[in-house]
A = this chain, B = another copy of it.
Amino acid sequence: MVRSLKKLLLGNPLHTASLHEQRLTKKAALPILASDNLSSSAYATEEIVVALLAAASVGVTFPLYYAIPIALAIGLLTAIVAISYGQTLHAYPTGGGAYTVAKENLGVLPALVAGSSLLVDYVLTVAVSVAAGIAAITSAAPALYEHRVGLSLLTIAVILLANLRGVRESAAVFSGPVYLFIASAFLLIIAGLFRYVTSGAAVAHPLSAATAPETWNVAMVFLLLHAFASGCAALTGIEAVANGVTIFRPPVSRNASTVLYILAALLTAMFLGITVLSYLYGIGPREGETMLSQLGRAVFGQGIVYYALQIATMAILVLAANTSYADFPRLGSVMAKDRFLPRQLANLGDRLVFSNGMILLSLAAGFLIVLFQADVHLLIPLYMVGVFIAFTLSQAGMVIHWLRTQEKKGRRWRIAVNAFGALTTGLVLIVVATVKFLDGAWVILAAIPLYVLLCWRVRQHYFQVGLEMSLADYEKPKELRHTAVVPVAGMNKMVLAAIEYARSISRDVLAVTVNVDNLDREKLEKQWEEWVADVPLVILESPYRSIHRPLLLFIDEVQDWREDDVVTVVIPEFVARRWWQQFLHNQTSLFLKASLLFRKRIIVTSVPQHLRR
């Protein structure tokens, strides 16, 4: 039944031979790699404005046009990161994720830090993107707002199911929503600017008119950096091109870097455009409606174009979440193959996807959604730290890569570019970690070392297992001798079957029974004499009615007493025809098997007796 349900939901298992890579043109590859990054423009502006307004709570009022220079700074940062990553593409044409780059150039510890940051990131990409996607929908249909947590969880479930079935990252699925989002964002910006110029829309927000502070102090700089750090959410996902470089047609590196630069340009344009327009139209954060939605209604009116914008926003955010379903299990399986994570994460499921990783990802993201009630503002502070750790380590790794490389041409220039990238992202990391520390960044900063430790312990364990299983020092043992112990509860066919079996595997068979509750000793001994006179029966008294303890003590004694190599415990086991019938029998054999498993030099054998009816 479980199998049928699984088949219905997931489809038929796929043949291992069906696993193959597809190679795409730039036009087809862009939407696949862009969704994560471009979708952040749906919420990045709002994060800046929320942070600027939050300053009011400590008595500082910033004029809202401050969002524009902040967005410009982030645009510059985007350019730096893109150029820096552009070099990674050339050095790692088979895919240069932060984990790989850090492992090859910086060593294991930085690689684990990068790997754990990335895994955390992927979880947050799902949580943030889904929450923001649902926010786009509930902005257009406010009646759904109170169901946002349920809707988010449902969305995650649908994405999970689609991925367990093995949705390929096909251009067919991605290009529609991504190009629609790009088109509607640019339409919004152009139409908005046109309308502002022609009709002069009012700058309605009360704070828009605030004047710049005249004197500056450290707290104010901190608050401004806070807004900058929040806006850096725009950068998330830009590393996708470097990770996914293998999907490009040759010349791989050239095609990939072209797409990377286009992506960075698109992001910067959209993000800046939305930020400027939000200021011009006096749009501010409001509970239950995103700023992008407010902007859309202000520019387009509540018509079909507005709804198209909301749906495109939702769609690209869902696709962004979806990319984590490829990245998280892929990185998980790479780290599992390096023995840093449980090997189950490296197993391909029925549909040739890393099912275990996907399920883990969904559970973690679902947990965050519930914990933070699908609130993007609360999730963002957890997001930034991991992203910038990965950026920094990746760029730093590239610096070492160029230092070691044999190729002389343009080496200095390359080192300079990546060093500048590493320095910049490192600085932003420090800013993000500091200003967002109390908002939630501390959770991630505390989790990463724990996670690294866990990876180490896992690797240590596998190493130890390898050592102990190794045949290097194996000595062929002398011939095995064993005593068979058969625990019985009386005399019946099931018991006789177990005794017969025990007799067939050993010449030393002992039966043992525990007298819990006024056993009829005489009757049992007489029956025993009649049926299996040649096997000694030991009757143990158990005044406290425990069955296990006397049995385990007895088995210990047999082990001490005989100098055999092993004791085989032959357990007669009752197998009912129907599941409910199994509950009508004591589960003694089950518990006995479980406790014997942890004792050394004991082999456990079940002799099942199947009920005919």
Contact = CB atoms under 8 A, between A and B. Distances in A.
B604 A544 contact: no
Given A505-B505, A597-B573, A604-B605, A343 B584 contact: yes
A46 to B, nearest CB: 40
A585 interface: yes
A20 interface: no
A375 B389 CA distance: 58
B597 A544 contact: no
Contacts of A586: 343-344, 347
Contact of A544 (B15, B464, B469, B493): B15
A566 interface: yes
B544 A14 contact: yes
A468 interface: yes
Interface stretch (A122-130, A206-214, A377-385, A475-483): A475-483
Interface in A597-613: 597-598, 600, 602-613
A186 to B, nearest CB: 46
Given A15-B544, A517-B348, A607 B611 contact: no
B464 A613 contact: yes
A493 B480 contact: no
Contact of A469 (B492, B597, B604): B492
A562 to B, nearest CB: 15
A4 to B, nearest CB: 15
Interface of A: 13-17, 342-344, 347-350, 458, 461-462, 464-465, 468-471, 474, 477, 479-482, 491-494, 496, 500-501, 503-506, 516-517, 527, 531, 543-546, 566, 568, 573-576, 581, 583-586, 593, 597-598, 600, 602-613
30 contacts: A13-B546, A14-B544, A15-B544, A16-B517, A343-B585, A344-B586, A347-B545, A349-B545, A461-B581, A461-B584, A462-B584, A465-B611, A468-B493, A469-B609, A470-B493, A471-B492, A471-B527, A471-B531, A474-B493, A474-B531, A480-B504, A482-B504, A501-B566, A504-B505, A505-B505, A573-B597, A597-B606, A603-B608, A604-B608, A605-B605
